[in-house]
Structure 1
Amino acid sequence: MIEFGRRWGAGWLPSALAVLVALTGAIGIAVATNESYLPVTTPAGACRPTWVTGWQAAAQPGPAQPGLAGTTVRMVVHPRVTGSEVRLRLSNLYGTTPLAVGAVTAARSDGAAGLILGTARPVPFDGRQAVVIRPGGEVMSDAVPLVAEAGSPLAVSLFLPVVPQVITQHWAMQAAYLSGGGDATFGGATAFGPQTPSSVVLTGIDVRAPRPVNSVVAVGDSITDGMGAMPGQSWPDVLGGRLVEAGGVTTMAVLGAGISGNRLLADSGPQNGDVPLARFDRDVSAAGGATDIVLSIGTNDIAAGRSAADIAAGLQAFAERARAAGKRVFLTTVTPSGTGAHGTPAAVAARQELNAWVREHGAAYADGVFDFAAAVADPAHPTRLAPAFDAGDGLHLSAAGYGALAAAVDPALLTGSPCLAGNPPARAVVSGR
């Protein structure tokens, strides 16, 4: 049995992001403490137009793709907030040399590399169409008059004349396309080649919403990132669609902060991103409207030989950090696996011990627990995934499996968006289709 004393400290205060810009031309168990049910109130006058984060991707370093320099990369993303303007966040967090971005556009997308006629907009930075991002820096664009509609695709196109050897990116099941060369930021689908699975430089999109929309940040590893399924089928994507369709106060954006290979306790290599505590400020605190966090992580720590006690202590530390920052935080059990280092007898035993601790004690440190393991386990062999939920490798989930995880999250425990009480699901009036 794992035992810990409850340790409530002042936590860490979120640090401001330093940016220097040079411009150029299925079934789950939900357990909550009493604090989860405290009524959420909205100060008078707070329900006014505001900027909220509608989409984001957790940053990780990686080598620049061959042929990337001198081309345009077009990324297709699905914001979870409806509004009349957008702002883009670009990052050179892991670059060791300046990153020049020659031109940027944002447009409504046909779901692939094509743009909806008449919707493409230039994206300026302090009034200019080009920007240089210092090593380790991020920049936010000026506001762009482009309607974003929750769940509908947007295309962001970046012309990258020169790129560093190491570029900030996110490997995910997400549509991105490379042009044949040159500035194709306003170009049609014929200017772009086959789909590539990595987004680069773009780490967030803010949307100016008519009323505040709160968000849930899903922090985790490849299970949170949706590995094994198609784009739009991860559990954060499914949950986000569910909360938007519910409408009214239940509406929340769900922001992805999963990184394949990520660990809770120790950096497993630079390609697998920083540990959740190290990226808390940029993935959670910097997300406009973020009120809730679901932390679902630990399978890679178990495979690396970390003990259940160590992982439980890490979950507790993250929960303390989140609550010190004024966020509502939820823990999950670790989904089963019978493959490789994730399925050894020692790994199975550690996972069972950790999950027992989360179920019994997790709500003492967090605002509730979602039992992801129970939602997707094979009833006949609980240490393995149910066949219908297995993507085929014994670790990652199918679309049905991710749907089961999303169903294990009880919206009644989440903060919701009080300013939307009594309102139907948002629908944007879109011109220029």
Structure 2
Amino acid sequence: MLVTTVSALVAVGAVGDPSAAAAGQRPAARTAGSDSCGPGWVTAWETSPQAAAGVPIASALAGRTLRMIVRPQVTGSEIRVRLSNRYGRVPLLVGAVTAGRAGVGPAVLGGTARPVFFGGLPVVAVAPGAEILSDPVPFVAEAGQPIAVSMFLPAEPDHVAAHPVALQTSYVSGGGDFADTTDGAAFATPISSWLVLTGVDVLAPHHENAVVLVGDSITDGVGSDPGRDDRWSDALSARLAGVGGRAVMSVLNAGISRNQLLADRPEIEGDSPGRRFAHDVAAASGVTDVVLHIGTNDIAAGRTAGQIISGLIGFADQARAAGLRVFLTTITPSVAGAHGTPRAIAVRDAVNAWVRSQGEMHADGVFDFAAAVADPAHPSRLLPVFDSGDGLHLTAAGYRALAGAVQLDRLTGSPCLAGDDPARVAVAGGR
């Protein structure tokens, strides 16, 4: 019965393909006091997947339940979850989905689990290459309070949309459908990846805008401690919450470790920012701004300053064509391997000089990340207190320095939150 019902839903999965959210089709930013300042959907958490194919991950998931732990950044009364089959060549069958308040480990707080439906049905087949957004679910979400999204996969996926560097522990059950269970005993396998789930939207009491941070392992947060929410996206979110009012935005992390501006290898370092723009940026509810911090892996791969600059311009043009404000950053210094050769340093210096002198001709602003974390005595390397130990990735203090380099008044903010908003609690971390 399950397979028959799910097979009939293949077309439903296609509805969730964010290619429909093409450039220019997102709503305009709200202004304080306008009629549109009432409740509004905003993406409160998201991640950018890569393609995980075949053994061991796909075969290990057949007939098991995933329990993904995520931290929303927005408080509201309803949620929607986004499931991805972005890299699949056959429909992804999902037999049951629930959402509840995460407890200790894989446990869900009693009385908080809610069923999640798609087109009014409890099962769904996500079409190949698509992502799908669920029906609204009555659910009291609180900024910073983790949500457990559980998904039963009755059949082996051919490719799994996976984010390998979650820096957050999630769980996989033994065989069986445990989406409705709350005690967590069935979820004996902890994992450090997010699988299938790529977004959670929240219906906020007043419309809130979102900024998407696109990048590589620096944006992904490599070097920070797992479970501590010490990425630069978290630090930026905390800064915005500290200012409060109209400065607040949902800060979404679209970083992928090893990502390159100019390469598309989804099973190794993910699709390039331009290729994944429709899914990772344009499809986010409430998005108004995007910050691009990338290039160090392109330098290590041997690309020239001219090629990287051309790629930055291309991404900025793509974002502006979609009606978004776009910000470029300088590339952070490194002396690690191919990132720190004399040639690499020269290319990075040339790109950074262009960003500083000409970046604003193509973007709405530039943020000097390199200057924020470089050792003043040796600008080609990180200041020791910001170096996680590998000469490339940052410590939590380094990620706070990146967030500190963002000029908050250049971001769109959320004009509907111009006054004090007691319905929105301060962000306590979250991706």
Q: TM-score range by the shorter chain?
A: 0.7 to 0.9
Query: Any conservation in 1 of the 2:30–2:36 contact (CA below 8 Å)?
Result: no
| Cross-structure match for 1:21 | 12
Query: Any conservation in 1 of the 2:33–2:416 contact (CA below 8 Å)?
Result: no
Aligned-CA RMSD value: 1.9
Aligned-partner Cα distance in 2 for 1:83–1:95:
32
Aligned-partner Cα distance in 2 for 1:323–1:238:
26
Query: Any conservation in 1 of the 2:215–2:294 contact (CA below 8 Å)?
Result: yes
Find the residue that maps to 2:274 and give its secondary structure.
coil
Query: For residue 148 of structure 1, what is the amino acid of its counterpart?
Result: A
Name the count of aligned residue pairs. 395
Query: Any conservation in 2 of the 1:244–1:425 contact (CA below 8 Å)?
Result: no
The equivalent position to 1:93 in structure 2, one of 71, 86, 109, is 86
Query: Any conservation in 1 of the 2:12–2:119 contact (CA below 8 Å)?
Result: no
CA deviations over 1:132-187 (Å, ceiling 9, x no partner): 11211222111111111112111111111212232111122222111122111122
| Cross-structure match for 1:10 | none
1:109 equivalent to 2:102? Answer yes
1:165 equivalent to 2:162? Answer no
The structure-2 alpha-carbon separation of the partners of 1:271 and 1:21, relative to structure 1 and needing over 3 Å to count, comes to farther
Query: Any conservation in 2 of the 1:82–1:426 contact (CA below 8 Å)?
Result: yes
Query: Any conservation in 2 of the 1:263–1:297 contact (CA below 8 Å)?
Result: yes
The equivalent position to 1:184 in structure 2, one of 154, 171, 178, is 178
Unaligned residue ranges in structure 1 (runs of 5+): 1-18, 24-38, 429-433
Aligned-partner Cα distance in 2 for 1:129–1:242:
39
1:209 equivalent to 2:200? Answer no
Aligned-partner Cα distance in 1 for 2:422–2:211:
17
Aligned-partner Cα distance in 1 for 2:397–2:288:
28
What's the offset of the Cα at 1:43? 7.2
List aligned pairs for 1:117-266, cutoff 5 A. Answer: 117-172=110-165, 173-187=167-181, 188-229=183-224, 230-231=226-227, 232-266=229-263
What's the offset of the Cα at 1:236? 0.8
Query: For residue 96 of structure 1, what is the amino acid of its counterpart?
Result: R
The structure-2 alpha-carbon separation of the partners of 1:122 and 1:269, relative to structure 1 and needing over 3 Å to count, comes to closer
CA deviations over 1:391-433 (Å, ceiling 9, x no partner): 22111111111111111112111111000101246446xxxxx
| Cross-structure match for 1:327 | 324
The structure-2 alpha-carbon separation of the partners of 1:52 and 1:111, relative to structure 1 and needing over 3 Å to count, comes to farther
- Residues 160-169 or 85-94, more deviating: 160-169
Unaligned residue ranges in structure 2 (runs of 5+): 1-9, 15-28, 426-431
What's the offset of the Cα at 1:42? 4.8
Aligned-partner Cα distance in 2 for 1:43–1:268:
46
The structure-2 alpha-carbon separation of the partners of 1:111 and 1:363, relative to structure 1 and needing over 3 Å to count, comes to farther
Aligned-partner Cα distance in 2 for 1:156–1:245:
29
The structure-2 alpha-carbon separation of the partners of 1:40 and 1:365, relative to structure 1 and needing over 3 Å to count, comes to farther
Find the residue that maps to 1:147 and give its secondary structure.
strand
The equivalent position to 1:67 in structure 2, one of 44, 60, 66, is 60
Q: When the two structures are superposed, what TM-score results if normalisation uses the length of structure 1?
A: 0.87
What's the offset of the Cα at 1:195? 2.5
Find the residue that maps to 1:100 and give its secondary structure.
strand
1:76 equivalent to 2:66? Answer no
The structure-2 alpha-carbon separation of the partners of 1:181 and 1:246, relative to structure 1 and needing over 3 Å to count, comes to farther
Aligned-partner Cα distance in 1 for 2:30–2:114:
38
Query: Any conservation in 2 of the 1:151–1:241 contact (CA below 8 Å)?
Result: no
Query: Any conservation in 2 of the 1:248–1:425 contact (CA below 8 Å)?
Result: no
The equivalent position to 1:349 in structure 2, one of 337, 346, 368, is 346
Query: For residue 336 of structure 2, what is the amino acid of its counterpart?
Result: T
Identity of aligned residues (%): 57
What's the offset of the Cα at 1:72? 1.0
Query: Any conservation in 2 of the 1:221–1:296 contact (CA below 8 Å)?
Result: yes
1:267 equivalent to 2:264? Answer yes
1:314 equivalent to 2:308? Answer no
Find the residue that maps to 1:263 and give its secondary structure.
coil
